Amino acid sequence: MKLLTANRLTDGVTLWHTGTGWSEDAAHAARLDDEQADALLTDWKTRETEVVGPYLIPLTPDGNPVQREQVREFIRANGPTIGQTADALSQAHGRADIFES
């Protein structure tokens, strides 16, 4: 399984593909099977007026990004970990942190 993620062109905000569109909240990211993920990535790579640098994040069976991506993707999903509340995406979205840190 994989997630599809990118940054929005206009403001650079981190986006997560929900299977039907994009969300700013990683909690809504769809767990995509490999074939679907590859097809979506191919499609979005050409749609450059909407997103920048789309890529796939491989997942472990428990739904976390694979180890080598885990810290980086935890921070992308939940915001900087430095205690500035304005930056806490999890609070902005009214949810707990997702992915294990």
Partner 1 sequence: MYVYDSFDHTFVRERNAEFADQVARRLSGELSEDQFKPLRLMNGLYLQLHAYMLRIAVPYGVLSSKQVRKLAHIARTYDRDFGHFTTRQNLQFNWIKLADTPKILEELAEVEMHALQTSGNCIRNTTTDQFAGAARDEHTDPRPWAEVIRQWSSIHPEFTFLPRKFKIAITGAAKDRAAIRVHDIGLHAKPEGFDVYVGGGMGRTPHLGHLIKSSLPGEQLLSYLEAALRVYNRYGRRDNIYKARIKILVSALGPEEYARQVEEEWNTLDKAKIDAPSAEIVRIRSFFPDPVFTDKTFDRVALERAQIADPAFARWVKNNTHAHKRDDHVSVTISLKPVGLPPGDASSAQMDVMADVADQFAYGELRVSHEQNIILPHVAKTDLYELYRQLDAVNLSTANGGKITDMIACPGLDYCTLANARSIPLAQDISQRFADAELTDKIGDLQIKISGCINACGHHHVGHIGILGVDKQGIEFYQILLGGRADEKAALGQITGKGLSAEAVPAAIERVVQLYLKLRTDESERFIDALERLGRDTFAEALHEPA
Q: Does the protein bind partner 1 through residue 97 (CB under 8 A)?
A: no
3-state secondary structure of 82: coil
Residues in the chain: 101
Question: CB of 24: closest distance to partner 1 in angstroms?
Answer: 10
Question: CB of 81: closest distance to partner 1 in angstroms?
Answer: 6
> Segment 7-66, which members bind partner 1 (CB under 8 A)?
7, 9-14, 48-49, 52-53, 66
> Tokens 């099977």 correspond to what residue?
33
Torsional sign, CA 68, 72, 73, 74? positive
Question: CB of 11: closest distance to partner 1 in angstroms?
Answer: 4
